A and B are shown apart, each in its own frame.
Chain A
Amino acid sequence: MNPALLSLLTPLATAILMLLCRSRAAVWTIAASLLSLVAAIAALYQVTTDGSQLIHLGGWESPLAIRFRVTALSALLLAFTALIHLLVGLYAARSRHSQTRNTDYWPLSCFLHASLASLWLSTDLFNWYVILELLGLTAVALVSLAGTKAHRAAFNYLLLSLAASLCYLLGVALLYGRYGVLDSLLLADMLEADHTTRTALLVITLGLMLKAALWPLHLWLPPAHAGAPTAVSALLSALVVKGPLFVLWMLWSQVAPVELGRQAGPAMAAAGVAALVSAGWSACRTPHIKTLVAYSTVAQLGYALLALGMLLRWGVRELHVALWLFVFAHGLAKASMFLAAGEMQSTLGSKKVSALRGATQTVPVAMFAFAVAGGSLIGLPPSGGFLAKWVLLQPLLLEPSHWPWALGVLLGTLASAAYVFRVIALSFDRAPPPRPDYNPDPVAQWLTLLPALLVWGMALGGETLILWMSGVAY
């Protein structure tokens, strides 16, 4: 069997089996993530040696077929998804404070994994609609695991996600009515810059921006991500918002006519800068730890949007690399940051940022994980975030006419430094006397550090990674 398909089918089969048999769910899930990771690495190896490949599901030929396409990027994303699921699964299984140990978290996270994997492989607009719906429904179910108090956030999340899907579907229907094709690879050669296409792309883009929580359509994200159980918050911020971003990137950089991209690019880049500044400001102001981390997700997505916008405007190839490096670095750093925030919050018994006073003495390892992940979000060397920012800034600094955008990146960096150092400065204060139920869990704290160490490690192979990613086809 094709290793990419194996990487998709393993979590799917595990999820279905777990609905029938509940015993040892955590062990099965972790084993499935591990197997999926190995399969994804095999797929990555195959793609780098033989080039990208098309899989025709069920043996049907185009145009009736549903095709999966394995490229170097999609194989890398498969591996990334499996890796994050593995790391988060280890924490969720081991930590005393994770509220998800004996719940439906396990089958649902497997379903989430499978939906994401099929999203990376798919090339069909309608297939993406179905997968985005699956992703949304699973994510809502995961958020509602936090109990009835989270049902309000889950309900709002579900409604917004449905509305966004319907925007997307309307756009897809218009495109199909105009061109009679749904496969994005076939559409790429046919699209013309006429009124129908413009309207369809606009509606699709709005739907996807709402789903990916891109500024100014991001207001649903902080309550949903902050209200979810810790392991779920990590998965949502690290992976789920990247799904619609991937579709947006595919649509604009591969399918849409170049001149439309040139017109839309600056607007997207401006929205990216606005996200960096406004969400960074909100993160500096919020009183709650997990809300701070959730706002930081909105801000960091601004970098991805900025990179996409400038890619469309100027067509510089390196910006593909910058965008995806941001996604990988942010995913790892944010997984670590959410897990550390959740672990500190439940050890110290308060949701407030002010409860972190003296956290370097009470929960040292988790605080260290938070700081390392924060360093990557700011873009301090050595880290994955620094690599991404380096690649992003190079084409910006070469041309004097691009310098205003570099200023936007600088503002974003300052904002992220402000909210990360807000927490770190507080943690070096003298700790108040511990509460009577203070009972730290050192192993769980080390598990929160793992993704942060990986994002640190991205810097070690930095040059090879950048060169390799510049070499693959997009």
Chain B
Amino acid sequence: MSTTLFYLAIGIGLWLMGLHGLLATRQSIILVLAINIMSSGTFMVMVALATHSDPVDPVLQALVVTGLVVAVSATALALRLAASRRRRTEDDAT
């Protein structure tokens, strides 16, 4: 039980850190990283909740895998948009 609580707390901590990063910075790459930290926090909460029951709940783990796929594709799109934003700023500067 205490290990579950420990990982739950870490998950929620990561989620809050990500949220703070999202609100506090304006740099594209850091923003993308902050979102990823936030999603890692959420997945950690889900994995921690899965170990709560015995045997380990497979549904939550399956959900985490689905969530990871979504997070990867979203990150790819975000990076693409961030890159073109950066190129545009450089064009404006020259």
Question: Chain A interface (Cβ within 8 Å of chain B)?
Answer: 126, 129-130, 133, 136-137, 140-141, 144, 148-149, 151-152, 154-155, 158-159, 162-163, 165-166, 169-170, 173-174, 176-177, 180, 182
Q: How far is the CA of A169 from the CA of B53 in the complex (A)?
A: 20
Interface residues of B in 34-66 (CB under 8 A from A): 35, 38-39, 41-42, 45-46, 49, 52-53, 57, 59-60, 63, 66
Would you give the 0/1 interface string for B6-47, flagging 1 where the beta carbon is closer than 8 Å to chain A?
000000000100110010000010011001001101100110
Interface residues of B in 64-88 (CB under 8 A from A): 66-67, 70, 73-74, 77-78, 81-82, 84-85, 87-88
Asked if A133 contacts B38 (CB within 8 A), the reply is: no
Q: How far is the CA of A177 from the CA of B81 in the complex (A)?
A: 35
Residues of chain B within 8 A of A165, CB atoms compared? 70
Q: How far is the CA of A159 from the CA of B73 in the complex (A)?
A: 13
Residues of chain B within 8 A of A155, CB atoms compared? 28, 78, 81-82, 85
Q: How far is the CA of A140 from the CA of B74 in the complex (A)?
A: 10
Chain A, interface SS category: helix
Chain B, interface SS category: helix
Asked if B77 contacts A141 (CB within 8 A), the reply is: yes
Across the two chains, which residue of chain B brings its CB closest to A155? B81
Q: How far is the CA of A144 from the CA of B85 in the complex (A)?
A: 11
Residues of chain B within 8 A of A154, CB atoms compared? 81
Residues of chain A within 8 A of B87, CB atoms compared? 148
Asked if A126 contacts B15 (CB within 8 A), the reply is: no
When the two chains form the complex, which single residue of B42, B60, B77 contacts A158, counting CB atoms closer than 8 Å?
B77
Interface range on chain B: under 10, 10 to 19, 20 to 34, or 35 or more?
Answer: 20 to 34
Asked if A159 contacts B60 (CB within 8 A), the reply is: no
When the two chains form the complex, which single residue of A141, A166, A170 contacts B35, counting CB atoms closer than 8 Å?
A166
Decide: A169 near B81, CB < 8 A? Known: A155-B28, A159-B35. no
Across the two chains, which residue of chain A brings its CB closest to B60? A176
Decide: A130 near B81, CB < 8 A? Known: A155-B28, A159-B35, A169-B42. no
Asked if B81 contacts A144 (CB within 8 A), the reply is: yes
Asked if B22 contacts A151 (CB within 8 A), the reply is: no
Q: A144-B81, A166-B42, A177-B49 are in contact. List 12 more A-B contacts (CB 8 A).
A: A140-B77, A141-B77, A151-B88, A154-B81, A155-B78, A155-B82, A155-B85, A159-B22, A159-B78, A162-B74, A170-B42, A173-B46
When the two chains form the complex, which single residue of B15, B35, B45 contacts A162, counting CB atoms closer than 8 Å?
B35
For residue B4, give the distance in angstroms from its CB to the closest CB of chain A.
10
| B18, B19, B31, most chain A CB atoms within 10 A | B31
Asked if A158 contacts B74 (CB within 8 A), the reply is: yes
Ordered nearest first, which 7 A-B pairs have the shortest CB separation? Answer: A177-B49, A155-B81, A173-B46, A133-B70, A151-B84, A166-B38, A170-B42
